[in-house]
Chains A and B, each alone.
Chain A
Amino acid sequence: MIEIKDVSKLYPGKQKTITAVKDVNLTINDGEIYGIVGYSGAGKSTLVRMFNGLETPTSGVVTINGTVMSELKGKPLREARQKMGMIFQYFNLLWSRTVLENVTFPLELIGMDKAERIAKATKLIDTVGLQGRENAYPSELSGGQQQRVAIARALANDPQLLLSDEATSGLDPKTTDEVLELLLKINRELKITIIVITHEMHVIRKICDRMAVMDEGAVVEEGNVFDIFRHPKMEITRQFVSEEETPQLNDTTVVINELLAQVPTGKIVKLTFHGDQAKLPIISEMLRQFPNVDLNIVDGSIHQTQEGSIGTLYLQLLGDDDEIAGATDYLHKMRVGTEVIRGE
């Protein structure tokens, strides 16, 4: 278990002191995937570097399985680091080494015997799906493949904890999903705790169990990923969630405006479904109860999170005012989030 207690990090400067991390308290359980989301400069990279002692807190303590990281120095610190893996946005592979040599690197550091480390590295290269590329150099691989090598390298010392610092930020959407699948598989099969730092809500939704939102060095919201997606409390969290819910928000606005121009008598509502509601035939039931309402689907999406699905639907409702009011009341009654985007 990882405990962060009252952790702050200040960088004294000539003009003024910069607070990179401000009074952060977090508990991360063994075996979970914990996401920390925030815009760049929010302090999440500084925070994650305190887990393996690359940064030390100005005040507060980071405790990993009972060991206070900031008290470690020299050999004990290096040994603690050998039990953690870390992956980065730009992969940070050694270009002068082949894939195999990159993966054996951490094993060389602990003085493992050559035959043993080659056997182990070869197995890890299989795990990340790069068999056959052992003798390639990083420059001959795609970004996604390089990150796989970095993941294999991070796993070489059988870590209990894997730190991922914007590991998918440099990758295209398809490759991002492949790397996320791999991280999920590693978490499930090897029972490794993973801490994911990202500015993309997509990454959190896809693999994280719990999450924290950071803004200007402080954790402003924390909890279950599903709950936060459903009821974001802070404005910044709402921004992150809405980015992810409607990835083509601008397109949707365009579509709504076009529709309004074509059919000036429309009411546009945004419906949000979570979990079980997304599985119920609520809309068809609504139409059965209010048969004079005409309905036009403007846009919609359903996302899978680790705990269930979240759906968003943009509808144009046409017809008698009373009927429409009844229909939206029905939706409210069914606990569907209903938001009127444009009235009459």
Chain B
Amino acid sequence: MVSSTTGFSSYFHFSQVNWPSMWSATVETIWMTIFSLVLVGILGILLGLLLFETTGSTNFWARLVHWVTALFVNVFRSVPFIILIVLLLPLTKNLVGTIIGPKAALPSLIISAAPFYARMVELAFHEIDHGVIEAAEAMGATRWQIIYKVLLPESSPALVSGITVTGISLIGFTAMAGVIGAGGLGNLAYLDGFQASNNTVTLVATIIILIVVFIFQTLGDLIVDKLDKRVAN
């Protein structure tokens, strides 16, 4: 049987799909996403907090920290991801010891997504009513108590919906990383699908990615709903 690379029917040659490798590519994509998302969450909240706490300060050091953090965030948020991977190849090699495979994708995934999330975190904190923070100060709360007893819980729905959006773009990034050998569904679609002219593999990889995104979004929405007590339910 000769596979046809053109025409609509080329999408439906399911016998040509190597299901075990499709499965392991899916696992790789999910692994890359979740692992980097955890680190992006931590790093993004720290950066966002740093931006929020140093906003509008008159102290020289606070202003310096704000300026440096904002510069870092703006630069890495602006560099297109595919260029960032290539740019960070030497750093990746030093950090994880390899430039191929799922592990190699992590540094660029994190450095690209953390600034994106940091901005959302900063916005979420700014949305908290200033009066609530003032009330906590009037009760004698320390800065640290305000952070973990007021800022984080009061912005939790926005933090979770932000991490959902970030996670979904991370899934997209992992697919791009796949093209330069990071593994996962993007890699499979590129090598076995595009280069081997097997459109069915590309279609199946796409559908799996869509299912992952869908599950992710639904999960995020459910958690936000559970956390948000601002509307009486």
Contacts and interface: CB of A to CB of B under 8 A. Distances in A.
Given A79-B140, A84-B138, A109-B141, A94 B150 contact: yes
A52 B232 contact: no
B135 A88 contact: yes
Interface string A152-166: 010001000001000
A109 B145 contact: yes
Given A54-B134, A92-B134, A94-B150, A106 B139 contact: yes
Nearest to A77: B140
A53 B48 CA distance: 28
Interface in B102-151: 129, 131-132, 134-142, 145, 149-150
A157 B135 CA distance: 14
A83 to B, nearest CB: 8
Interface residues of B, number: 23
B124 to A, nearest CB: 13
A94 B140 contact: no
A92 B135 contact: yes
A81 B149 CA distance: 18
A344 to B, nearest CB: 56
B28 interface: no
A126 B67 CA distance: 50
A256 to B, nearest CB: 44
A90 B154 CA distance: 16
Nearest to A75: B142
Contact of A105 (B134, B139, B156, B227): B139
B158 to A, nearest CB: 12
B139 A82 contact: yes
B169 to A, nearest CB: 27
B153 interface: yes
B131 A90 contact: yes
B132 A94 contact: yes
B151 to A, nearest CB: 11
A153 B132 CA distance: 13
B231 interface: yes
A139 B154 CA distance: 13
Give the interface SS of chain B, mostly helix, strand, loop or mixed: helix
Contacts of A157: 139
Given A109-B139, A139-B229, A96 B134 contact: no
Contacts of A110: 140
A165 B30 CA distance: 52
B229 A95 contact: yes
Nearest to B156: A96
Interface string A46-57: 000000101000
A78 interface: yes
A128 interface: no
Contacts of A294: none
A307 interface: no
Contacts of A163: 138
B12 to A, nearest CB: 50
A108 interface: yes
A94 B153 contact: yes
Contacts of A80: 140
Contact of B140 (A81, A88, A92, A138): A81
A140 interface: yes
A137 B132 contact: no
A92 B153 CA distance: 15
A205 to B, nearest CB: 27
Contacts of A82: 139-140
Contacts of A77: 140
Contacts of B229: 95-96, 137-139
A97 interface: yes
Contacts of A52: 138
Q: Which 4 A-B pairs have the closest CB atoms?
A: A81-B140, A78-B140, A92-B135, A82-B140
30 contacts: A52-B138, A54-B137, A54-B138, A78-B140, A78-B141, A78-B142, A81-B137, A81-B140, A86-B138, A88-B131, A88-B135, A90-B131, A92-B129, A93-B132, A94-B132, A94-B153, A94-B154, A95-B154, A95-B229, A95-B230, A96-B153, A96-B154, A109-B136, A109-B140, A109-B141, A109-B145, A110-B140, A139-B232, A140-B232, A157-B139
